[in-house]
């Protein structure tokens, strides 16, 4: 992909032009993210507040009535419920993988079968998470698109 940035004349409006053979899902997601600006959430860690991009999050997990965002090597508490995060990131590659977890499909390196019809997701940061049998079908459909 080639990116060209040009500075408009002082009286011209900023314009974004996308030229492609056919838009794929990732491009559509980027356009939507730009239009809605819902690409970041606030994370809390050690009395510090950090803006987290959806691209930095590997998965969200609910534990003990709290929700955490797991990034490459850090974990942040977020002040959203899982269902709210599903709505916020519905146009991105996030999918429910268990009752208490939502995974970023872009961060999955590969899947392997697990006991009882479950799947084990091997993430790009070396972590492994279990995909609940109930959510395997929907996750496979989303991965195929």
Q: Please state the rounded mean pLDDT for residues 43-53.
A: 94
Q: Is residue 97 a contact partner of residue 131, using CB atoms and an 8 Å limit?
A: yes
What residues does each domain of the chain span?
Answer: 39-144
Q: Is residue 94 a contact partner of residue 102, using CB atoms and an 8 Å limit?
A: yes
Q: pTM, whole model, 2 decimals? A: 0.74
What is the average pLDDT value for the chain, to the nearest integer?
88
**In this predicted model, which residue has the larger pLDDT, 57 or 22?**
57
Most confident segment among 11-15, 33-37, 49-53, 65-69: 65-69
Buried b (16+ CB within 10 A) or exposed e, 105-139: eebbeeeeebeeebbebebeeeeebebbeebbeeb
Fold of 39-144: OB fold (Dihydrolipoamide Acetyltransferase, E2P) (2.40.50)
pLDDT of amino acid 128:
97
Q: How many whole angstroms separate alpha carbon 39 and alpha carbon 60? A: 15
Q: Is pLDDT of 97 > 90?
A: yes
pLDDT in tens, 4-36: 778 888 888 877 788 888 888 877 777 766 665
pLDDT of amino acid 88:
84
Least confident of 4-8, 86-90, 103-107: 4-8
pLDDT of amino acid 62:
97
Q: Is pLDDT of 125 > 70?
A: yes
């Amino acid at each position: 992909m080639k990116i060209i940035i040009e500075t408009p004349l002082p009286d011209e409006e900023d314009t974004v032009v996308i030229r492609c053979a056919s838009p794929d899902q990732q491009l559509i997601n980027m356009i939507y993210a730009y239009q809605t600006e819902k690409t970041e959430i606030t994370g809390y860690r050690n009395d510090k507040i950090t803006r987290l991009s959806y691209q930095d999050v590997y998965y969200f997990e609910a534990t003990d009535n709290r929700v955490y965002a797991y990034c490459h090597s850090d974990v942040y508490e977020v002040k959203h419920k899982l269902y709210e995060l599903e709505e916020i990131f519905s146009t991105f590659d996030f999918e429910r993988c268990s009752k208490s977890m939502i995974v970023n499909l872009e961060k999955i390196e590969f899947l392997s079968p697990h006991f009882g019809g479950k799947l084990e997701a091997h993430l790009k940061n070396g972590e492994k998470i279990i995909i609940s049998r109930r959510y395997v079908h929907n996750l496979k459909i989303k991965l195929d698109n």
